[in-house]
Amino acid sequence: MLATSHRVAHYGTGDTGSQALRDVIGRPELELVAHLVHSPDKVGRDSGDIVGVAPVGVRATADLDEFLSIDADCVAYFATDFGREPDDVIDEMCRMLASGRNVVTSTMPVLVYPPAAPPGVLARLEQACADGGTSFFCSGIAPGFTGDALVLTCASLCARVTSLAVHERIFMGTYSDPLSFRYLGFGQRPEDQAAAAQPTVTSDAFSATFSMLADGLGIPFDEVRNHREYAVADADHTTAAGPIPEGTIASVRLCSDGIVDGETRASTAIIYSMIDHVVDDWAPAVPPAAPDLARFTQVTVQGEPHVDVTLTLSGSDQPGVDATAARVVNSIAGTCAAAPGVHSPLDLPIASTGAFVR
């Protein structure tokens, strides 16, 4: 017997949004009923044609009113927040929630853990959920899984936890998003990105990952120290998002340390690489004979017992995108069934009901 069917309205067809749309179309318990786009060249086209699958009889529109005129249980919101005013994004989400549609998304990662979101933003989303009797859920793979939900699952195996660490390596050469390319400084000289590399200190309340870890472990961090490091290209490279000349930034490592009583008790280090081979000596190393373009995560929990988990995502040229899309799509059923409000991975179960190949 199939899971309860849900009518899904989809918004956004970038890298992650396109994969999510293919997931929605391919799932027997989900029915695509509406599709909102920004690009004029996509307006009027069949949604299936836009993402390279068979036609589904739903034509994309750029008109939000038209999009919301079609009855739906849930909006899969994958419009980007890069280059947009945050208030504009929240305005759209709130309008959808207040109209009686649940919302699942990977947009605006600060919303992954609601207590870490700006209070004004959280209040607006909660009011919209109350007005529409709906639920909101934001997730992804990082934040939303590898650096927080997965870590807390691993830590649940321990009677005592002393410290924890997460190291990730993500190959991004096939990603076509120019905004992420510029934000991380790819193709620029390290000295031109010196300001972005300066260490910063924040409260864990300003980090979705560290705020979730703090609450999940029951120990708030005194502060979170952040910095980034660069590795440069060994030759000229061309990527989907832009060129990487020799000697310019090819890999970026974003590091954060959660401090308690002057000691590092939790640390994360995520490597984003725009070329398909390693030009640094950072962990995690790529294992011998590893699949091409695989995404690697190492979770280490020092405790009783010691837990060491390696997660590898592979099978496509963008496995992280595939996993992000799937995690959000897999949350549709749980979000639609949840009590009205803004939810996090700590209180909303995510099951891949309907994903099993029959």
Which pLDDT tens digit goes with each residue over 158-212?
Answer: 999 999 999 999 999 888 878 789 989 999 999 999 998 899 998 665 588 999 9
* pLDDT category of residue 353 using cuts at 50, 70 and 90: low
| pTM, two decimal places | 0.91
Phi, psi of 26 (to 5 degrees): -85, -5
The SS3 of residue 43 is coil
Predicted local distance difference test score (pLDDT) of residue 2? 43
Q: How far is CA 230 from CA 46, 179, 296, in A?
A: 42, 18, 19
Instruction: Enumerate the domain spans of the chain.
Output: 6-139+331-343, 149-317
220: cis peptide before it, omega within 30°?
Answer: no
In the chain, the percentage of residues whose pLDDT exceeds 70 is 96
Judge whether residue 55 has pLDDT over 90. Answer: yes
- Cβ atoms 213, 152 nearer than 8 A: yes
As a whole number of angstroms, the distance between CA 163 and CA 154 comes to 12
Phi, psi of 67 (to 5 degrees): -60, -45
Predicted local distance difference test score (pLDDT) of residue 203? 67
Judge whether residue 105 has pLDDT over 60. Answer: yes
Task: Classify domain 6-139+331-343 at the CATH superfamily level.
Answer: NAD(P)-binding Rossmann-like Domain (3.40.50.720)
* pLDDT category of residue 115 using cuts at 50, 70 and 90: very high
Task: Say which residue, 87 or 1, is predicted with more confidence.
Answer: 87
Predicted local distance difference test score (pLDDT) of residue 309? 97
Predicted local distance difference test score (pLDDT) of residue 319? 94
Please state the rounded mean pLDDT for residues 50-77.
Answer: 98
Residue 182, judged by CB atoms within 10 A of its CB (0-12, 13-18, 19+), counts as middle
As a whole number of angstroms, the distance between CA 334 and CA 346 comes to 13
* DSSP result, 312-342: EE-SSS-HHHHHHHHHHHHTHHHHHHSPSEE
| Mean of all residue pLDDT scores within the chain | 93
Please state the rounded mean pLDDT for residues 242-258.
Answer: 96
Judge whether residue 47 has pLDDT over 80. Answer: yes
Please state the rounded mean pLDDT for residues 283-295.
Answer: 89
Predicted local distance difference test score (pLDDT) of residue 82? 83
Task: Say which residue, 54 or 3, is predicted with more confidence.
Answer: 54
* pLDDT category of residue 355 using cuts at 50, 70 and 90: low
